[in-house]
């Protein structure tokens, strides 16, 4: 599930984070506490706050316009100044450490300040090279033992397309360490003292080991904002299109609230109704999520219910340890909300104003600390079934290519290198010693790159236009790339490259090509002819020359294609079986004005061009993920649901290439073939499965339910 992209949306919240706290009661608020006057002098000596009462940290303007960082108890009393910044400083991202002893904050986006609740502060500037290139801090999070601070640094003053996670010790003179190198990474909540979540704008959630800097994918669902709940499960939102917030540009996702164990197993959809671009801020005791959507923060039950209007412009929330209340952090105030008074349905009315009580006014960039206890993480990691096919897998999550070998965790091997960069097709060479991938850079005009990895070397070639297909020669020495220059009806050709050097070897004017053991099968006309009804021919190009296989006129006269109408036909793509005996074609009828009519998947024999069977799809979308098995003659594809149907209606299907008879049909997305062609992979939200083509029950391969490219180990 890659390539989810939407436009930027304005958001009311800026930097979202979660603080999971343990069981203490928030201070009762039958009355509204008196606000601290702006510029009130600090106490002569900091007074430690009783650990059972919690703490607030917030900024206010002091004498001469200096910014002052105050700490107090949750009633706004027992207050003192613990740090300050020059007048005009941009301070924010205030975050308490888990022990309530230190506070981290961003200073002008170029340094992390660290203040102690008992007084004393220091600033740790980001690397000079990043400051010179106008990188800035857009998020902060503490390790549970306060040994490290994780920060997201983003290019172009926080507005660029490149971001990565950096780690630093909270002490003067500490050196920054770059923890990710994928160019699209945001630091999330820490899981324990060794690991933290990382998320991307392309919908990947991963676990980062702070010591080794190794990444491990968490789920195949495109999702964001993971957090550990009170039950030890990981909660997150996603399943749909990806986006970003307007101010901080943190990743957002459409879809549902989900939960899973820390292993990515036992995936559950926690809500029935999907929502648009959001981030998960917390989970209440009754299972409802607190989510940030464009314009406001909501409690997500049967309906989205906004917080009481008195909460104001909420940027973050802190959920109480028992999940009964939350503290809404909204510049310039902190508001406590009784979540039991927020209805589950809009039909029951809006939350009363009395459900919200102002704890503190005049508090800029505030944070709340409540003493927390360790949470036992929920685990469920079933062993791999011994019957599962043995294979080396490559797959895409977000903008990163991962490789998984038997018995080893997946490891990243290639990244798009920028936010919203899209990694498309993956294709192993026949011997498994090379991997071709396409990378699409964000923004128009669309440019794609082909990367071929061979042993310890690689070459990267920029191709003008969108790559439609990558196909390896049977001997692994050449790669054929079909590229369309300007959209669906732009000029299309096939470029053949030497796989070792990337040197261009041949260029064929063709709309589609597929390599087989017999040669290169090509659709010899550019895609522009599909709209005009110009002649189209499919040819087999080999060392001995070119031989005609079939053409659009012959297909139009075939009674098997009568459902496509009596007008012209357009052949849109060709794909040949590995042995070169069968050819699959995507064919559309054309209206008199050149528009698309009914469509069908047509399979013919290469030897004589005879159509063996036709699967008509009318005006519905054509099958996706269509691929032949590496041995035999099975053809697999995905049928997507039509608008309004549930996601569960997505179907993976495999048919006999010679007859069209269905061999396997399962819920989920067709995800590829095992190296020997004896198994079909199916991707579902709960993981990747493999089904034997000779019948029998499927086996679960992994928790990452995405399409894969498989080769021998």
Can you give the pLDDT at residue 511? Answer: 77
Cβ neighbors of 31 (< 8 A, separation 6 or more) are none
pLDDT of residue 646: 46
Tell me, what DSSP letter sits at residue 259? E
> What are the helix (H) ranges across 573-644?
none
Per-residue model confidence (pLDDT) at position 465: 72
Q: What's the confidence (pLDDT) of residue 447?
A: 58
Q: Which tokens hold the place of 546? A: 């070119």
Answer for the pair 265, 289: CB distance below 8 angstroms, yes or no.
no
**Please, where in the chain does CATH 2.130.10.10 lie?**
55-369
* SS3 at position 582: strand
Q: What is the structure's pLDDT at 51? A: 42
In the prediction, which pLDDT does 617 show?
83
Contacts of 355 (CB under 8 A, 6+ apart): 308, 337, 338, 341, 342
**DSSP assignment, residue 20?**
B
Residue for token pair 């002893």 = 101
What pLDDT, on the 0 to 100 scale, is given for residue 5? 29
- Where the chain has pLDDT below 70, the residues are 1-53, 245-248, 419-420, 442-448, 455-456, 464, 485-491, 525-533, 565-567, 593-596, 642-648
- HSE-up of residue 67 (Cα within 13 Å, Cβ side): 21
Residue 51, strand partner residues: none
- Tell me the pLDDT tens digit for each residue of 175-233: 999 999 988 999 999 999 999 999 999 899 999 999 999 999 999 999 999 999 989 99
Residue 517 — φ and ψ, nearest 5°?
-65, -20
Rg (CA), the chain: 29
CA 466 to chain centre: 21
Question: Which H or E element spans position 131?
Answer: helix 128-132
Q: The tokens of 97 are what? A: 């450490």
Strand-pair category, 177-178 with 163-168: antiparallel
Handedness of CA 612, 637, 681, 519 (dihedral sign): positive
Instruction: State residue 16's pLDDT score.
Output: 33
pLDDT, residue 20, reads 30
The H or E element that residue 125 is part of is strand 121-125
Q: How big is the chain, counted in residues?
A: 713
Q: Summarize pLDDT for 153-175 with one digit per residue, the tens.
A: 999 887 787 899 999 999 999 99
Q: CATH code for 55-369?
A: 2.130.10.10
Closest among 72, 24, 8 to 46, alpha carbons compared: 72
d(CA 205, CA 234): 11
Listed in sequence order, the residues at least 6 apart from 54 whose beta carbon sits closer than 8 Å to its beta carbon are: 24, 26, 27, 73, 74, 100, 368, 369, 370, 371
**pLDDT on residue 43:** 37
Closest to 380 in 3D by CA, of 144, 687, 647: 687
Q: Return d(Cα 104, Cα 474) in angstroms, integer.
A: 57
Q: How far apart are the first and last CA of the chain?
A: 24
The pTM is what?
A: 0.86
Report the mean per-residue pLDDT for the chain: 84
Cβ distance 706 to 688 under 8 Å? Answer: yes
């Amino acid at each position: 599930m890659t390539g989810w992209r939407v436009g930027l949306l304005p958001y009311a919240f800026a930097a979202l984070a979660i603080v999971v706290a343990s069981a203490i009661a928030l201070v009762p608020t039958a009355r509204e506490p008196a606000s601290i006057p702006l510029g009130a002098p600090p106490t002569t000596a900091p007074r430690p706050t009783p650990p059972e009462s919690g703490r607030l940290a917030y900024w206010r303007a002091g004498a001469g316009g200096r910014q002052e960082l105050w700490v107090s108890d949750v009633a706004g009393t027992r207050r003192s100044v613990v740090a300050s910044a020059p007048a005009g400083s941009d301070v924010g991202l205030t975050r308490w450490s888990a022990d309530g002893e230190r506070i981290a904050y961003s200073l002008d986006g170029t340094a992390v300040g660290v203040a102690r609740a008992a007084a004393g502060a220091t600033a740790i500037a980001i690397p000079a090279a990043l400051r010179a290139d106008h990188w800035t801090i857009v998020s902060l999070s503490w390790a549970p033992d306060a040994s490290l601070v994780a920060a997201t640094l983003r290019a172009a003053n926080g507005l660029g397309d490149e971001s990565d996670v950096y780690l630093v010790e909270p002490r003067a003179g500490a050196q920054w360490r770059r923890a990710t190198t994928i160019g699209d990474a945001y630091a999330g909540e820490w899981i324990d003292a060794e690991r933290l979540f990382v998320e991307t704008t392309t919908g990947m959630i991963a676990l980062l080991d702070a010591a080794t800097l190794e990444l491990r994918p968490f789920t195949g669902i495109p999702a964001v904002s993971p957090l550990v709940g009170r039950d030890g499960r990981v909660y997150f939102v996603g399943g749909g299109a990806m986006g970003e917030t307007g101010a901080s540009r943190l990743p957002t996702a459409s879809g549902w609230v989900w939960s899973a164990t820390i292993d990515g197993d036992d995936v559950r959809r926690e809500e029935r109704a999907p929502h648009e671009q959001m981030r998960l801020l917390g989970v209440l005791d009754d299972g409802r999520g607190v989510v940030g959507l464009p314009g406001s923060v909501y409690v997500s039950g049967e309906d989205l219910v906004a917080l009481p209007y008195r909460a104001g412009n909420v940027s973050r929330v802190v959920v109480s340890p028992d999940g009964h209340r939350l503290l809404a952090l909204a510049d310039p105030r902190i508001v406590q909300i009784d979540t039991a008074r927020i209805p589950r349905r809009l039909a029951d009315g809006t939350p009363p104003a009395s459900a919200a009580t102002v704890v503190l006014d005049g508090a800029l960039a505030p944070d709340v600390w409540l003493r927390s206890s360790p949470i036992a993480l929920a685990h469920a990691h079933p062993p791999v079934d011994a019957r599962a096919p043995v294979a080396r897998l490559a797959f895409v999550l977000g903008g990163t290519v991962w490789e998984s070998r038997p018995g080893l965790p997946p490891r990243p091997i290639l990244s798009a290198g920028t936010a919203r960069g899209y990694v498309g097709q993956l294709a192993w060479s026949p011997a498994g010693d090379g991997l071709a991938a396409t990378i699409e850079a964000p923004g128009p005009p669309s440019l794609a790159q082909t990367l071929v990895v061979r042993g310890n070397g690689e070459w990267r070639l920029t191709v003008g236009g969108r790559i439609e297909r990558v196909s390896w020669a049977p001997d692994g020495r050449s790669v054929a790339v079909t590229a369309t220059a300007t959209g669906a009806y732009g000029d299309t050709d096939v470029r053949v490259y030497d796989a070792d050097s990337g040197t261009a070897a041949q260029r064929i004017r063709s709309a589609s090509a597929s390599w087989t053991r017999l040669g290169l099968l090509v659709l010899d006309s550019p895609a522009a002819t599909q709209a005009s009804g110009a002649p189209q021919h499919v040819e087999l190009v080999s060392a001995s020359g070119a031989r005609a296989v079939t053409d659009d006129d012959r297909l139009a006269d075939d009674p098997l294609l009568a459902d496509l109408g009596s007008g012209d036909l357009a052949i849109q793509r060709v794909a040949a079986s590995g042995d070169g005996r069968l050819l699959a074609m995507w064919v559309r009828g054309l209206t008199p004005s050149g528009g698309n009519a009914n469509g069908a998947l047509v399979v013919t024999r290469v030897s004589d061009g005879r159509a063996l069977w036709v699967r008509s799809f009318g005006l519905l979308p054509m099958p996706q993920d269509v691929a032949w098995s590496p041995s035999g003659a099975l053809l697999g594809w995905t049928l997507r649901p039509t608008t309004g149907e549930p996601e569960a209606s997505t179907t993976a299907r495999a048919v006999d290439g010679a007859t069209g008879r269905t061999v396997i049909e399962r819920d989920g997305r067709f995800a590829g073939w095992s190296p020997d062609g004896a198994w079909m992979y199916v991707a579902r939200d709960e993981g990747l499965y493999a089904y034997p083509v000779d019948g029998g029950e499927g086996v679960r391969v992994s928790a990452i339910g995405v399409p894969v490219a498989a080769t021998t180990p």
